[in-house]
Amino acid sequence: MVEAILPTKLRRRRRWPASLYVGGFIVAGLLIIAILAQQIAPFPFDQMHIRDRFSAPSWRYWAGTDEYGRDIFSRLLFGSQLSIALGVTATVISMIAGVPLGLFAGYRPGFASETIMRGLDVMMSFPPIMLVLLILAVTPPSLLKTSVAIGILFVPPIARVTRSVALDLMSEDFVEAARSRGERSWYILLRELLPNVWPVLMVEASLRVVFAILLGAVLSFLGFGVQPPQADWGLMISNGRSFVDQAPWISLAPGLAMGLAVIGISLLGDGLREKLDPRHRGAN
Amino acid sequence: MSPLLDVRDLTVRYAGESGIITAVRDVSFALHPGQALGIVGESGSGKSSIAGAILGLLGANAETAGKIIFAGRDLSTLPPAQRRAVLGSEIGSVFQDPFTALNPAIRVGQQIAEPLVQHRRVTPTAAAKRAIELLAEMGIARPAEAARAFPHQLSGGMKQRALIAAALACEPALLILDEPTTALDVTVEAQILDLLAALRRRKSVSLLFISHNLGVIRRVCDDVAVMYASQMVERGATTAVLGRPLHPYSKGLLASLPPLAASARRFRLPSIPGQMAGSPKPEAGCVFSPRCPFSEARCNAGPVDITGPADGHQVRCWKADRIGAWPLPEPINTPELIFLRGNALLNVTELRKTFQARSGLAAWRFSFAARPRLSRDTGEVAAVDGVSLALSPGEVLGLVGESGCGKSTLGRVVLQLLRKTSGSVEFDGEDVSQKPEQALKNFRRQAQIVFQNVGSSLNPRLSIGEALARPLALFNLVPPSGRTARVEQLLDMVRLPKTYRLRYPHQLSGGERQRVAIARALATEPRFIVCDEPVSALDVSVQAAVVNLLADLRDEFGLSYLFISHDLAVVAQLSDRIAVMYRGRICETGRTEDVLAPPFHPYTKALLASVAHEAPIELEQAGPVKPGGCPFRPRCPDRMAVCETDTPPLHPMSATHSIACHLTTLKQGTSSGSVVPGFASFR
């Protein structure tokens, strides 16, 4: 009712959602820090200061030092490179594989789609850590391999989300109108379905980056993925675990960094969804 | 006598993203015990916000001002708990969509008993008994069974009856109905309206009836209030307002209703130009003046007050006593075409389309009855069951029937969006139903479709220009450099400004979106368009303009339409011939004037009576019918022994008129038509 009486006047001025600004600012900041880690960091990430073990945050060590006297702030900067690379690579891999599968399954339900979706269900029924370990255990660990493994693990949820949105869209009349013009499948998939699935995928992808960073932390903790003395945020948190009572800052700093990244990426995803949606553009 | 409900200066505002929108402005009315007041208006006029304000159902972004005095208490100042106690026990409400209003997981009887337990402190067993009685009062044949049923087991009409029963369970003094029959078929609508009229007499309950449908209001209400752009523009006794409307908007609304009669090709429906303003400014002048043919400078000189006796016929127009009838459009100079059989553009022969309710493993049934037995039951349903029809170039064939009769499926099988089970579809001499998809390119260009749902027929992510340019690129009809010009030409053809090229669907109103959808269909330069309920979702004032547009395009380009609708009056307005469909079969077909004049198929007769809001049909939409025999027999008032065993073929009454009914053979046996009850003349 309310929507029906809204004015439909076209306006040139476009307002961008605030979440896009804030999220974009945080994510851009993190990226710059990750790229310039070498230049910004006051110490090399693996330099030990034996006499300054467990020192609290101070002017010399902004975020304190760990059990070997390594500067946590410097390690945080270098760790951001690993964590962000892991999260983004894993998400991109899962989207590249998951989106086409989901679109196809939504566009053409049938035996093939059913087989794909049930196969993905089987994948989802494995405990995630076990599945990744299965992939990683047989070969020597590396960051890229961890990303690929996590990416594969995230294919089923991406495909499911894509499929459910695509299935809904298939019952829309504009898809039927495209079919009545005799449009080819690729056109319907790419021009009619994908742009309408995209906003939902943006939100899902921003969540997946976050999950990937968290899962990467778990894997590092178990000894797969990042190898000491290098450390991503997850590994730093788990290392600090034993000293939480005497030196809480060891875990606190990477924890806060991860929290900030999560908020930034989620806001960015949300803002992009709104920005990409023509319904939020122009009118209103 | 003090009024039961006294609404004074009700104003409802919504805080939207674009600022504050006033949905209802200073609306006052009184409803006396036992009275029925109708509120009419198009979508966005604020009529549903009135109901929402009385029921306290408006969202958190709504703000109301004014008094809502119900039985001596001002509802708007009552604390929430007391207000809830009034609602449900003293005020009942029924909403538009019976298909979603009932909880699918709870038995119907329990949902009717719930308010009794809640408000009247009745024991659950007594309430359950009362629920069955209520269902019986609503005219449901086997009330105990209906009470035990889950909502999905009931038809739409039965669900709406159950909802009315629930609303009346606590014997409220006031029943608020918001578009209660809009989602129902005309035959079912007629039954529900009869039920409401009977209940009103029997229980002396007051009705506040909100609808966009003037015919429905006419049938139920003593008084009517016409809403336009947040204001009440006219109010009075139904006979006065609908019989002798004073406000130009009411006049236009009544004039744009298509009459239930065949219309010559030259004639167009009177329509109200333009559309309702999104944010009206009544302080600057009459809100209707931009669309009003009688408008003059004084109309925009300042606010217009509603005048007239407080209990009589009131109108918000300063020169209401000086204006004449709504202007009729000039007849268009177009010849009446005579269509010859034999040179048909579209020839559908014995078309069948079946669907399987279950497939794969789910289709297998295992029974232990006598001995373990495995059987396969796909639950096959024939949506289209042996339909033959022909369509000449430039001809419009109207296809009428209730929801679920297979009319939309027929349209999609004709367009090869669904593939036939058997039969053939010949287009321009070629059997397109045999061809693979790749070979249909030429057919796809020549045969297009326009949908009912204006919300989903355009891709929200494509601008209007992109959507219209795509068919041009796909069929390479216009070189890339000329596409913008052609898009503007297409917009012009559907009477939209050229600048709409840059807009997105959400920036258009429903009527404008439907025009774009029509332009998109026209972009391929088709010869044949399936119009699947193209105006059913539109407001009456917009509907007439779109029907006129379709008629203009038909005459200009010699288009053929398969015009699918449940609205017999709209179909009659546009169609040269009509086919009436029931359960996948055509039960009557002929020229529009033949079909609308007796003799009728009993089903056509029932449809006509429902649309005219005259003779009620007692019969409920029937469940599954055993195959063999006439599909209409369970609902037919004139069924005979032969109807149980033989399916009646289409029997020619004249060169242009055929009826599938056993009465036709009887009629030829006797000399006088009136001997046969089913063919007694209509009215």
Q: Among residues 8-27 of chain B, which lie with CB inside 8 Å of chain A?
A: 14, 16-18, 21, 23
Q: Is the pLDDT score of B45 beyond 50?
A: yes
Residue with more model confidence, A234 or B459: B459
Q: Does B415 touch chain A (CB under 8 A)?
A: yes
Q: Residue A159 — pLDDT band, cuts 50, 70, 90?
A: very high
Q: Which tokens sit at B335?
A: 């010849």
Judged by CB atoms closer than 8 Å, whether chains meet at B16 and A2 is answered as yes
Judged by CB atoms closer than 8 Å, whether chains meet at B444 and A181 is answered as yes
Cis ω for the linkage preceding A229 (within 30 of 0): yes
Q: State the average pLDDT over residues B527-543.
A: 88
Q: Does B275 touch chain A (CB under 8 A)?
A: no
Q: State the average pLDDT over residues A89-94.
A: 94
Burial B391-405, CB ≥16 within 10 A → b, else e: bbbbbbbbbbbbeeb
Chain A's closest residue to B463, CA to CA, is A278
The torsion region of residue B457 among left (phi > 0), alpha (psi -120 to 50) and beta comes to alpha
Share of chain A above pLDDT 70, in %: 92
Question: Could you give the residue ranges of the DSSP H alpha helices within A138-172?
Answer: 143-153, 155-170
Q: Which tokens sit at A23?
A: 């999220």
Provide the residue type at A272 as one letter.
Answer: L
Q: Which runs of E-coded beta strand occur in B253-379?
A: 314-315, 346-356, 364-367, 373-376
The torsion region of residue B218 among left (phi > 0), alpha (psi -120 to 50) and beta comes to alpha
Hey, which of A44-48, A266-270, B360-364, B520-524 has the most confident mean pLDDT? B520-524
Which of A179, A181, A275 is the best residue to mutate to test the B interface, defined by the most B CB atoms within 10 Å of its own CB? A181
Mean residue pLDDT of chain B comes to 86
Which of A173, A192, A281 faces B457 most closely, judged by CB atoms? A173
Chain B's closest residue to A169, CA to CA, is B456
Judged by CB atoms closer than 8 Å, whether chains meet at B417 and A1 is answered as no
pLDDT in tens, A64-88: 888 888 888 888 888 888 888 888 9
Which of A170, A180, A275 is the best residue to mutate to test the B interface, defined by the most B CB atoms within 10 Å of its own CB? A180
Residue with more model confidence, A208 or B2: A208
Judged by CB atoms closer than 8 Å, whether chains meet at B43 and A283 is answered as no
pLDDT in tens, A177-195: 999 998 989 999 998 999 9
| Chain A residues whose beta carbon lies within 8 Å of the beta carbon of residue B453 | 173
Judged by CB atoms closer than 8 Å, whether chains meet at B459 and A192 is answered as yes
Q: What is the pLDDT of residue B464?
A: 93
Judged by CB atoms closer than 8 Å, whether chains meet at B449 and A284 is answered as no
Q: Among residues 470-499 of chain B, which lie with CB inside 8 Å of chain A?
A: 470-471, 474-475, 499
Question: Could you give the residue ranges of the DSSP H alpha helices within B149-247?
Answer: 156-168, 186-203, 214-220, 238-243
Q: Is the pLDDT score of B177 beyond 90?
A: yes
| Chain B residues whose beta carbon lies within 8 Å of the beta carbon of residue A191 | 462
| Chain B residues whose beta carbon lies within 8 Å of the beta carbon of residue A10 | 499, 502-503, 507
Q: Is the pLDDT score of B376 beyond 80?
A: no
Which of B278, B441, B508 faces A182 most closely, judged by CB atoms? B441
Q: Does B517 touch chain A (CB under 8 A)?
A: yes
The torsion region of residue A262 among left (phi > 0), alpha (psi -120 to 50) and beta comes to alpha
Judged by CB atoms closer than 8 Å, whether chains meet at A1 and B506 is answered as no
How close is the nearest chain B Cα to the Cα of A40, in Å?
43
Q: State the average pLDDT over residues A250-278.
A: 83
Q: What is the pLDDT of residue B616?
A: 52
Chain A's closest residue to B474, CA to CA, is A183
Give the count of alpha carbons within 13 A of B306, CB side only. 23
Q: Which tokens sit at B150?
A: 């889950």
Which of A174, A175, A190, A281 is the best residue to mutate to test the B interface, defined by the most B CB atoms within 10 Å of its own CB? A174
Which of B16, B449, B462 faces A6 most closely, judged by CB atoms? B16
How close is the nearest chain B Cα to the Cα of A160, in Å?
22
Q: How far apart are CA B524 and CA B471, in angstroms?
A: 6
Query: What does pTM read for this prediction?
Result: 0.83
Q: State the average pLDDT over residues A235-257.
A: 85
Judged by CB atoms closer than 8 Å, whether chains meet at B43 and A4 is answered as yes
H-run or E-run covering B641 = helix B641-645
Judged by CB atoms closer than 8 Å, whether chains meet at A176 and B43 is answered as no
Q: Is the pLDDT score of B457 beyond 60?
A: yes
Q: What is the pLDDT of residue B371?
A: 77
The strand pair at B314-315 and B91-94 is best described as unpaired
Interface A-B: count of C-beta contacts within 8 A: 101
Burial B182-212, CB ≥16 within 10 A → b, else e: ebbbbbbbbbbbbbbbebbeeeebbbbbbbb
Which of B448, B463, B506 is the best residue to mutate to test the A interface, defined by the most A CB atoms within 10 Å of its own CB? B506
Q: Is the pLDDT score of B462 beyond 80?
A: yes
Q: What is the pLDDT of residue A4?
A: 40
| Chain A residues whose beta carbon lies within 8 Å of the beta carbon of residue B499 | 10
Give the count of alpha carbons within 13 A of B154, CB side only. 32
Q: What is the pLDDT of residue B36?
A: 93
Judged by CB atoms closer than 8 Å, whether chains meet at A10 and B456 is answered as no
Q: What is the pLDDT of residue B48?
A: 87
Share of chain B above pLDDT 90, in %: 37
Q: What is the pLDDT of residue B84?
A: 85
Which of B456, B474, B504 faces A183 most closely, judged by CB atoms? B474
Q: Does B524 touch chain A (CB under 8 A)?
A: yes
ipTM for the assembly: 0.79
Q: Among residues 143-162 of chain B, which lie with CB inside 8 Å of chain A?
A: none
Q: Which tokens sit at B16?
A: 């939207």
Judged by CB atoms closer than 8 Å, whether chains meet at A5 and B445 is answered as no
pLDDT in tens, B586-627: 999 999 988 888 878 888 888 888 877 665 555 555 556 677
Judged by CB atoms closer than 8 Å, whether chains meet at A2 and B503 is answered as no
How close is the nearest chain B Cα to the Cα of A14, in Å?
13
H-run or E-run covering B115 = helix B108-120
Q: What is the pLDDT of residue A136?
A: 78
pLDDT in tens, B261-274: 888 888 888 888 88
Residues of chain A contacting B, Cβ within 8 Å = 1-2, 4-8, 10, 172-174, 176-177, 179-183, 191-192, 195-196, 277-279, 281-284
Which of A4, A8, A174 faces B459 most closely, judged by CB atoms? A174
Which of A182, A278, A284 faces B461 most closely, judged by CB atoms? A278
Judged by CB atoms closer than 8 Å, whether chains meet at B458 and A174 is answered as yes
Q: Is the pLDDT score of B680 beyond 50?
A: no
Q: What is the pLDDT of residue B208?
A: 94
Beta bridge partners of residue B386, listed in sequence order: none
Judged by CB atoms closer than 8 Å, whether chains meet at A1 and B502 is answered as no
Contact present, B490 and B528 (Cβ < 8 Å): no
| Chain B residues whose beta carbon lies within 8 Å of the beta carbon of residue A192 | 459
| Chain B residues whose beta carbon lies within 8 Å of the beta carbon of residue A176 | 417, 449, 451
Q: What is the pLDDT of residue A3?
A: 39
Cα dist from A29 to A21, B126, B224, B391, whole Å: 12, 68, 64, 67
Which of B279, B449, B460 faces A180 most closely, judged by CB atoms? B449
Residue with more model confidence, B457 or B670: B457
